[in-house]
Amino acid sequence: MFGISDGLVSNVSLILGMAGAHSPAGAVRLAGIAGLIGGAFSMATGEYVSMRAQSELMERELDIERRSILADPEIERRELAALYRSRGVDPALAEELSSTMMQDPELALETHAREELGFTPGDTGNPLQAAFSSFVMFGIGALIPLLPWLFASGTKATLWSVILGAIASLAVGTALSFFTGRPWLWSAVRQLLISAAAATVTYTIGHIVGSV
């Protein structure tokens, strides 16, 4: 949903900015296609780099934790016991749990990673999958306001871009409400206002620049 929202807002703004400058239909189509492809690749690249860096950081922290467990298991056991106690576990039970966990190095690593670092080994994310998902979702969002320009031109295409962009914004906002738990109407209207504001600004700028 966030990828679709990004693609929708960015490309409806780009297309209406070009339309506001009274650009030929071919130029608007070219700008929209370039915005779709360039934006999708940009989103995918950013997501890949972000996820890759996050995975490498997690793997580095796991390596440090693994070496610490092998080098000085008693210190790591005490850290784990202290962590359990800080969460309200009875001190005697905390000692027993930490001792049991430390008997198996892999279980100890998993426990330390989950309790201290906040993630489970093997669950460090998939950069390629995230990049592909971002590419596709952004592309879908960016395609919506571009569609009218593949079959029409001028005022007719501009109006249809506005209509499709508004409908898509309401749909995206409604869908996001299922994840955020906020009222669907509030989420839908918010998404519509954000898209409308961006499109209005770029259309106005395009109109001013195109009239110079």
* Whether pTM exceeds 0.75: yes
Same domain, 149 and 197: yes
Phi, psi of 82 (to 5 degrees): -65, -35
CA 138 and chain centroid, separation = 10
Same domain, 36 and 81: no
* pLDDT for the residue numbered 212: 64
Domain boundary among 117, 141, 162: 117
Same domain, 100 and 171: no
Same domain, 41 and 143: yes
Same domain, 57 and 94: yes
Give the type of residue at 49: V
CA angle 198, 200, 202 (to 5 degrees): 70
Residues 24-38: tens digit of each pLDDT: 999 999 999 999 999
Give domain status of residue 136, yes or no: yes
Same domain, 145 and 206: yes
Same domain, 105 and 178: no
Give domain status of residue 17, yes or no: yes
CA neighbor of 3 nearest in space, from 180, 124, 142: 142
Mean pLDDT across 148-164: 93
Q: Which residue has the tokens 């309790």?
A: 115
How many residues are there in the chain? 212
User: Which position has the higher pLDDT, 105 or 91?
Assistant: 91
> Where residue 104 falls among pLDDT bands split at 50, 70, 90?
confident
Mean pLDDT across 107-121: 75
Same domain, 171 and 66: no
SS3 182: coil
Mean pLDDT across 135-159: 93
Q: What distance in Å separates the CA atoms of residue 90 and residue 44, rounded to the nearest whole number?
A: 48
Same domain, 111 and 181: no
Same domain, 142 and 176: yes
3-class secondary structure per residue, 112-158: HHHHHHCCCCCCCCCHHHHHHHHHHHHHHHHHHHHHHHHCCCHHHHH
Mean pLDDT across 170-198: 90
Give domain status of residue 155, yes or no: yes
Give domain status of residue 123, yes or no: no
Q: Which residue has the tokens 């080098």?
A: 71
Same domain, 166 and 63: no
Same domain, 57 and 37: no
- Judge whether 67 and 59 are in contact, CB under 8 Å: no
Give domain status of residue 166, yes or no: yes
Tell me which residue range forms the domain holding 137: 2-45+128-211
As given in the structure block, the two tokens for residue 57 are: 């950081």
Q: What distance in Å separates the CA atoms of residue 22 and residue 28, rounded to the nearest whole number?
A: 9
User: Which position has the higher pLDDT, 138 or 56?
Assistant: 138
Q: What distance in Å separates the CA atoms of residue 93 and residue 197, rounded to the nearest whole number?
A: 58
* pLDDT for the residue numbered 124: 65
> Where residue 9 falls among pLDDT bands split at 50, 70, 90?
very high
Instruction: Please tell me the total count of domains within the chain.
Output: 2
Residues 39-49: tens digit of each pLDDT: 999 999 999 99
Give domain status of residue 158, yes or no: yes
